Chain A
């Protein structure tokens, strides 16, 4: 196949992926309360409306708080886990890795029901901290994968050198390992943040009736009919995800983070 044909194939698929978002972005510009394409009477009215209506601002704040805390918790669990597993091969190390990877590999509804019953039994059902902890555990996999990747790339001779010069464990960690790991911790945090922001089923089953997050709010609003404000929220969410991943791509090595070994910076 020629190069042009390959590029066309890739571009057509990307265009298909973007098509629904383009329609939604256009629909969000409708002046009246209707979803028409092409938009009628285009204006940015609904963008302003979003930030004036507390019924949307409260879920937005919930979502941001939950995502920020849950991603931090995920990193706080993943970092020691990755460090512990790094140089160990025993059954404990393998069991820990398995537990770190499992929540993400299973259909999320399973974890969601598990968390729901757990918090009902313990009494955190319907509280925001229950959502934060549940998301944090569910998303541990992402920072675990990125941090492990970072550890794999660390040159052992650097650590040896620091040790020979008299650095203890803590010294080696603080001056050699941590600085090299920070980019991987940041991208792990960012992955977890974006996924928590967009997560529905766990947030819904753990505290959906009291702590409304933005995806829950959108789904509830859909039942009462489609309004341009839904399109506005969708556009903002898509833009936010693209921005965060774009930043990772700009300042980090995204192909390597996702498992490619050959790709180098141009």
Chain B
């Protein structure tokens, strides 16, 4: 082989295997899903190929509007709380020593990896009548009788914050830890107090990253499937729950697929916005 100066480490054919796998098992399923979303619902439980907009037309119903409104407002609330709590947390974290950072990251990753079913179970135990904080409040004399705080909207939002918080920290962590510590140092030297340096220097410098993280956490909590069932009431069900409900229990694959395509478009648009917001940071 002649030694060309621009030889790459990986030959061209190496890309074929991942390309084939991702096309077959990722693009093709999406293609089929798109096709099913315009297929005709067969009452026997499946679908027959055709081209009609019936499943999309069902979006226009009042019921679907309400589902979307609940889904979005619950996720927006959770995302706002998560980012508000996670941003100072990440700033403090990134200024700690390597070992402390590693330990805290292990805790965050473990919490993030926990199955939603375990988080839902843990939180409903924590909020339950027999083993939960209701007991603690009763023992402290704050309330007359131990009571349960689940299922409720409060429990659901707590759960979404629980899964969203570690995610928010991990999304914020790279930009925050790359922020030049000298900028903050300079502000302090010029006489800015701690909170002033925080809100006057750190926050504006990372505005794009914060907006990006907010959107990503929003999309992340929007995908929550088990928590609304474990911690919320049926009127709090999110779009994810309705998609599964239609596909698995109502045997209406076309409608499930149509909702899924819709959710994908919303998520893609938002993720695109988030990456734009993240990029803007450099220019700001």
Known: A1-B198, A86-B9, A201-B240. 11 other contacts (CB 8 A): A24-B125, A27-B131, A114-B32, A198-B114, A201-B225, A205-B247, A241-B109, A241-B110, A249-B102, A258-B173, A266-B98
Residue B276 CB within 8 A of the other chain: no
Residue B183 CB within 8 A of the other chain: no
CB pair B103–A249 under 8 Å, yes or no, is yes
CB pair B123–A17 under 8 Å, yes or no, is no
Q: Which residues of B contact A (CB under 8 A)?
A: 1, 3, 7-12, 14-15, 17-19, 21-23, 25-30, 32-33, 36, 46, 85, 88-89, 92-95, 97-99, 101-111, 113-119, 121-123, 125-126, 128, 130-132, 135, 162, 165-166, 170, 173-174, 177-178, 181, 194-195, 198, 219-220, 222-223, 225-226, 230, 239-240, 243-244, 247-248, 253, 256-257, 260, 263-264, 267-268, 271
In angstroms, Cα B174 to Cα A265, docked, is 17
CB pair A17–B225 under 8 Å, yes or no, is no
How many A-B Cβ pairs are below 8 Å? 288
CB pair A20–B162 under 8 Å, yes or no, is yes
In angstroms, Cα B177 to Cα A28, docked, is 39
- Taking the closest CB of chain B, its distance from the CB of A214, in whole angstroms, is 8
6 A–B contacts, CB within 8 A, in A order: A9-B88, A107-B240, A238-B114, A255-B101, A258-B173, A261-B177
B22 touches which one: A96, A169, A258 (CB < 8 A)? A96
In angstroms, Cα B257 to Cα A78, docked, is 28
Q: Which residues of A contact B (CB under 8 A)?
A: 1-2, 6-7, 9-10, 13-14, 17-21, 23-24, 27, 34-37, 77-78, 80-81, 83-88, 92-93, 96, 99-100, 102-103, 105-118, 120-121, 133-134, 137, 140, 159, 163, 168-169, 172-173, 177, 194-195, 197-201, 204-205, 214-215, 218-219, 222, 226, 230-231, 233-234, 237-238, 241-242, 245-246, 249, 254-255, 258-266
In the complex, chain A residues whose CB is within 8 Å of the CB of B26: 99, 102-103, 111, 114, 137
Q: Closest 4 CB pairs between A and B? A: A107-B223, A259-B174, A37-B131, A20-B122
- Taking the closest CB of chain B, its distance from the CB of A144, in whole angstroms, is 9
CB pair B25–A137 under 8 Å, yes or no, is yes
- Taking the closest CB of chain A, its distance from the CB of B78, in whole angstroms, is 14
Closest-by-CB residue of B relative to A30 is B131
Closest-by-CB residue of A relative to B253 is A117
CB pair B9–A241 under 8 Å, yes or no, is no
Question: Per DSSP, are chain A's interface residues mostly helix, strand or loop, or mixed?
Answer: helix
Closest-by-CB residue of B relative to A235 is B118
CB pair B117–A109 under 8 Å, yes or no, is no
